[in-house]
Structure 1
Amino acid sequence: MNSTHQPEGPPAPPCGHLRRTLGRERNPVSRAVDRARSRAVVLTVLGVVLAGLLGAGAAAVRLTAEQQRTTVATALLYRVEALVAGSARKAEATVFGGRTAYRADAAWDFPAGRTNTGVIDVPRNTEPGAAIGIWVDRDGHLAATPPSTTSLVADAVCLGLFLFGLLSVLAAAGLRVRLSALDRRADRAWTRAWARLEPVWSGRAPRDSHQD
């Protein structure tokens, strides 16, 4: 018999870990270290659930804040039509995702009685004279396009998933550290028990000392 091998405790299904943690498991071979393992598993599962709730909460807060900020910013902007004055040309940089951006010279009337000119983003095949909707401030200067609801939701979801993933990884790492510590404790207990029982089991111990 190999003295360095420690028999594993009874395997526990997912619901078995909960019963064992609550002390409702009726298994005579279940050890204290097995109950400690089950407690670690249950706490980790609860930690992952909490991470999901925190991630969802962070996403909701982020979405609400960004929607409010966008609403305030959009209230100070105006949507006007710009007339393209030249052919579309490739921008020097590409937009997010690797898609090539195109720009063209354009002119627009805003505020009333004032004509402004500038370079605006346009679709690839835009022809001169085409009307393109743009956003400007109260002085008629070009402004960044307010983010769409889809982009706001995507940003919030990414934040929530990142937070959930980070906390879940930390919970899993904590579980691994805890289980490793419990395994070392169980190994030491098994070594001590084997040191006491092996002489008796192998017959090397005197009978009278065993009887005592």
Structure 2
Amino acid sequence: MTAQQHPAAHTPLRAQLRRACGRDGSPLCRPVDRARSRLALALPLVLVALLAVSAAVSALVYRAETHDEREIARHRHAVVATTVGAAVADDLRTGGSWAHAPARWAYPVGPGGGVVRVTVGAPVGTAVPIQVDDRGVPAVAARDGAVVLSDAGFLGVGTAVALSSLAVVGFTLRRHALDRRAERSWEPDWERVEPLWTQRS
């Protein structure tokens, strides 16, 4: 009889709990069987704990990123730039729909100028809304709350998947090791227990 054929190899939850706690009075219950029951009971608890950790990481990242984006937003200002030159396609080989053009804009700290993104074929004098920093230099706008929440959520999901995958791999390796150990020891253990089990001396 192999470990796979052992009647205790697949047991309901209640029996797993009794075995894991050492309260299974069966003479066929060996230390390796109790170890397998503890392992089977531990996996769901570990996965729940890892999900909680991932959710906490996501919440902390969202809180930190929200604070950072609010700070960035305090130093971003919407202005309207006006192109003063012809638009040049960003990539003539691919025939893309975007181009860049020289432009000017006004800001309380003084007039500014530079290159802005426009659609291909935009005429001179096209108005383009842009974001500038406190010095009047073009800058990336702060992300809105939905984007921050989405990024934090993806990070949380990725963390949960990575940690859970590691836990399942570890569980599988440990389970296989216990199964091999149980299979190797089953014959000698059965020879020892069989007389008691069959009430033979």
If the TM-score is normalised by the length of the shorter chain, which range does it land in?
A: 0.7 to 0.9
In 2: Cα distance, 1:72 partner to 1:127 partner: 36
In 1: Cα distance, 2:164 partner to 2:76 partner: 42
In 2: Cα distance, 1:138 partner to 1:125 partner: 31
Contact 1:10 1:29 in 2 (8 A): no
In 2: Cα distance, 1:13 partner to 1:163 partner: 31
Provide Cα deviations, 1:43-72, integer angstroms capped at 9, x if missing partner: 111111111111111111111101101111
Q: What is the CA-CA distance between 1:162 and the residue it aligns to?
A: 2.0
Alignment of 1:36-47 (within 5 A): 36-47=35-46
When normalised by structure 1's length, the TM-score is 0.72
- 114-123 or 45-54, which moves further after superposition? 114-123
Structure 1 pair 57–125 and aligned structure 2 pair: CA distance change class (3 A): farther
Verify: 1:103 aligned to 2:105, yes or no: no
Alignment of 1:17-28 (within 5 A): 17-18=16-17, 21=20
In 2: Cα distance, 1:30 partner to 1:11 partner: 14
Provide Cα deviations, 1:7-54, integer angstroms capped at 9, x if missing partner: 2335235676456545788x9587344442232122111111111111
Report the 3-state secondary structure (helix = DSSP H, G, I; strand = E; otherwise coil) of the residue aligned with 1:153: helix
The residue type equivalent to 2:173 in the other structure is V
Q: Give the one of 117, 135, 140 matched to 2:131.
A: 135
Q: What is the CA-CA distance between 1:118 and the residue it aligns to?
A: 0.9
What is the aligned-residue RMSD (CA, Å)?
Answer: 3.3
The residue type equivalent to 1:108 in the other structure is W
Give unmatched runs, 5+ long, in structure 1: 93-98, 201-210
Q: What is the CA-CA distance between 1:190 and the residue it aligns to?
A: 1.2
Structure 1 pair 45–120 and aligned structure 2 pair: CA distance change class (3 A): same
Q: Which residue of 2 aligns with 1:144?
A: 140
Contact 1:111 1:138 in 2 (8 A): no
In 2: Cα distance, 1:84 partner to 1:109 partner: 12
Q: Which residue of 1 aligns with 2:90?
A: 91
The residue type equivalent to 2:171 in the other structure is L
Structure 1 pair 53–194 and aligned structure 2 pair: CA distance change class (3 A): closer
Structure 1 pair 73–196 and aligned structure 2 pair: CA distance change class (3 A): closer
Structure 1 pair 136–28 and aligned structure 2 pair: CA distance change class (3 A): same
Give unmatched runs, 5+ long, in structure 2: none
Structure 1 pair 76–90 and aligned structure 2 pair: CA distance change class (3 A): same
Q: Which residue of 2 aligns with 1:168?
A: 164
Q: Which residue of 1 aligns with 2:151?
A: 155
Q: What is the CA-CA distance between 1:177 and the residue it aligns to?
A: 2.2
Q: What is the CA-CA distance between 1:186 and the residue it aligns to?
A: 0.9
Query: Identity rate of aligned residues, in percent?
Result: 31
Structure 1 pair 105–44 and aligned structure 2 pair: CA distance change class (3 A): same
Q: Give the one of 91, 105, 114 matched to 1:118.
A: 114
Q: Which residue of 2 aligns with 1:55?
A: 54
Report the 3-state secondary structure (helix = DSSP H, G, I; strand = E; otherwise coil) of the residue aligned with 2:141: coil
In 2: Cα distance, 1:73 partner to 1:175 partner: 45
Q: Which residue of 1 aligns with 2:11?
A: 12
- 59-68 or 148-157, which moves further after superposition? 148-157
Provide Cα deviations, 1:160-197, integer angstroms capped at 9, x if missing partner: 12211121122112211221221122112213146669
